[in-house]
Structure 1
């Protein structure tokens, strides 16, 4: 597997280092600077609690100490890639001028409020600290691993530490300075590491698809308070795919390697108490429903054609259904019909099957396998 330096990649792309200073090195004047060991909350300087965490069991291939030892500088210092702290939004009927229909956006719906975060903006910031439906959240994106994930942040905010593990963004919360690798959603520093962030689903889709599915959505603009060339991606492009996103070169070595798929093949990954699974996205597009056992528990991955995404389901605790059709995933019959999923004769939208929906997200295969070498792969 080819690994090249960050300067070599940018040179091959014809991008000067000065044009990506906010993404890869220095911050603007006025951008927050801090240490991952600091205790500021990013606003008043008063001591605040860290982000809310949840009791959950996730598969782990490495100890916190091993992960901390694998941490390496990605180039910039803490907050050298400045998070968006005061996001501004536009209506779907008046979107940013640089946003094309085929451009990727990261869509979120919380408590009925829909928002879209263009990849072209977040590639320069990686974290947007926002409030959705009254809930403080952080929408995060790592361009090197192709992962967009959402976290509840409570009274604190997240920043970009400048460190990478497995080529993946390592966040820090400004209340405690603790480090949280994005894909793991797990604290790896501080006393008794291992806390897990409270997550919510972020959908990787296109602006046209998201706007069609959620016409009431608002969309993040490039009015961020920072001077960036939001019309140019420092790593390449997705519409069409080019540069780093289109070849097999890696800027940083993964924690583990597997050649069953090309390194940057997009998979939909899910991890839970039952284990970890990766479903090749193109395979899910073709088959639409993939059923599998994980730790002897029946699961199903289903395709959503309207958003070009997928969802992973497991049986509800105690095999309880939503009370409408008595469905039990262990014994249910699933089939595809005109974009919907038929469960024992009852029709459901792909995102609302009568089972427990797990958190799943798009990822590049090399990064998913690097963190979860025990993963089951469906290709």
Structure 2
């Protein structure tokens, strides 16, 4: 989601601006969540004391998420301490200001918040970005995920600016790239492109037409995924952007028309008017490889220009260097699966339109295999891992492969030669083609959090 832009401010607004008209405070008819909003709507100590007294004397479990979220933003030490003491006394948890632990606590039990939490969240975050209100207000019946698991990531809407129709240059023009630099390679309808990690990590998304198909490439730096989505579904082209919020440390997208929130790994809306409309975007393959290897395979490739329209330090390894060099998480998840390290890379194998079956294969395991064969939904597939560690997966029917030169040539059990191409395997003499399977890489912790029942192969 990007480095936190620590907006150290009081979310101080007049009462009329922080509450929508329909939720204006009416004397003697004040709702529970409005007592928490008092901490932000005024600096009046007497108002704070009255609100604290009400919260203390009327404590309910549904206050937990609201109290934790209030403390996260509150910059009044005296009020914060008193609210924290009420929270700790009623939960018997003494985490002080360790918000990751507080969130893990509420996430690992049944949700207790009420529908009014949506109104609270809309009003609170409106103080950061007026557009945030639209994500949550009146959407309590339009959500498929727990709202208390939706956390602000530290930026406003599109505060990490997506690259819209970015300038591309030829491989020969890309003098700024070293052969060892990491790139994300795509091939759509013969349109071959590379997106260097050193640039994309600062923007986390690009939107464009590739092979004359509208697409969005979404990079969740926190969970290590780059997924290429076709943004057109049933005749509608969704204009996607970065919402500023996270779900299980995975960035949430939004669409410009409805302001619905979308899960990046699922490719579908999870809060807002588009929920339960049967919308799930198709994703295409992305290869994580080195510039030298991609350029060798595809000398005709286009690549991102450094002229993005933004000023950033686009040197290799600069973006998120502290985050990528440790196994620590910036934002917690409900639980971690210790069978792999948090940020160990896996290859995601799934067919969402056909089955809920889901496989995660350790990239470390695959680098030792060169060729790995298995099945999903009774379909045989083969993973080929090249010298850069990049994985390409194909539906291989009943054909068993026994050799791969880790470049462009493979042999089956009958000694027949096949050419390993981006979108298919092709028999050298008969030109039979085996279809490429859409896959992407991810960090283990983020993928497992999104798909808790995934099968791990390591």
Distance 1:86 1:311, change over 3 A: closer
Q: Contact conserved, 2:224 with 2:442, CA < 8 A, in 1?
A: yes
Alignment of 1:176-255 (within 5 A): 176-189=258-271, 190=273, 191-192=275-276, 194-231=278-315, 233-236=318-321, 243-255=322-334
1:265 equivalent to 2:344? Answer yes
Residue range with higher mean Cα deviation, 173-182 or 78-87: 173-182
SS in 1 for 2:206: strand
TM-score w.r.t. length of structure 2: 0.61
Report the Cα offset of residue 357 of structure 1. 3.4
Q: How far, CA to CA, are the matches of 2:447 and 2:182 in structure 1?
A: 20
Report the Cα offset of residue 68 of structure 1. 4.5
Q: How far, CA to CA, are the matches of 1:126 and 1:309 in structure 2?
A: 20
Q: Contact conserved, 2:371 with 2:385, CA < 8 A, in 1?
A: no
Hey, which of these two has a bigger chunk of helix by percent?
A: 2
Alignment of 1:1-379 (within 5 A): 34-35=131-132, 37=134, 65-97=144-176, 99-154=177-232, 155-189=237-271, 190=273, 191-192=275-276, 194-231=278-315, 233-236=318-321, 243-272=322-351, 273-274=354-355, 275-294=357-376, 297-305=378-386, 308-314=389-395, 328-329=397-398, 332-339=399-406, 340-345=409-414, 346-351=416-421, 352-353=424-425, 354-379=433-458
SS in 2 for 1:197: coil
Q: Contact conserved, 2:182 with 2:196, CA < 8 A, in 1?
A: yes
Q: Contact conserved, 1:203 with 1:309, CA < 8 A, in 2?
A: yes
Residue range with higher mean Cα deviation, 224-233 or 68-77: 224-233
**Which position in structure 2 is the counterpart of 1:12?**
none
Residue range with higher mean Cα deviation, 298-307 or 360-369: 298-307
Q: CA RMSD in A?
A: 2.7
User: In the TM superposition, what whole-angstrom CA distance separates every residue of 1:28-50 from its partner, at most 9, and x where no partner exists?
Assistant: xxxx9955848xxxxxxxxxxxx
Structure 2: 5+ residue stretches without partners: 7-128, 136-141, 426-432
**Which position in structure 2 is the counterpart of 1:325?**
none
Distance 1:298 1:109, change over 3 A: closer
Residue range with higher mean Cα deviation, 118-127 or 172-181: 172-181
Q: How far, CA to CA, are the matches of 2:198 and 2:133 in structure 1?
A: 26
Structure 1: 5+ residue stretches without partners: 9-31, 39-62, 237-242, 316-327
Q: How far, CA to CA, are the matches of 1:177 and 1:100 in structure 2?
A: 39
Q: Contact conserved, 2:145 with 2:270, CA < 8 A, in 1?
A: no
Hey, which of these two has a bigger chunk of strand by percent?
A: 1
Q: How far, CA to CA, are the matches of 2:180 and 2:218 in structure 1?
A: 21
SS in 1 for 2:262: strand
**Which position in structure 2 is the counterpart of 1:50?**
none
Distance 1:221 1:82, change over 3 A: same
Report the Cα offset of residue 157 of structure 1. 2.4
Q: How far, CA to CA, are the matches of 1:108 and 1:137 in structure 2?
A: 11
Q: How far, CA to CA, are the matches of 2:438 and 2:348 in structure 1?
A: 9
Larger Cα Rg: Structure 1 or Structure 2? Answer: 2
SS in 1 for 2:145: helix
TM-score w.r.t. length of structure 1: 0.73
Q: How far, CA to CA, are the matches of 1:202 and 1:153 in structure 2?
A: 16
Q: How far, CA to CA, are the matches of 1:87 and 1:160 in structure 2?
A: 16
Q: How far, CA to CA, are the matches of 2:363 and 2:133 in structure 1?
A: 35
User: In the TM superposition, what whole-angstrom CA distance separates every residue of 1:140-194 from its partner, at most 9, and x where no partner exists?
Assistant: 2111111111112244422100111121121112132222221111221224255
Q: How far, CA to CA, are the matches of 1:36 and 1:183 in structure 2?
A: 24
Residue range with higher mean Cα deviation, 227-236 or 337-346: 337-346
Report the Cα offset of residue 355 of structure 1. 4.3
Distance 1:175 1:344, change over 3 A: farther
Distance 1:168 1:198, change over 3 A: same
Structure of higher RCO (CA pairs closer than 8 Å, 6+ residues apart): 1
User: In the TM superposition, what whole-angstrom CA distance separates every residue of 1:311-360 from its partner, at most 9, and x where no partner exists?
Assistant: 33446xxxxxxxxxxxx33xx33212433333342322345345453321
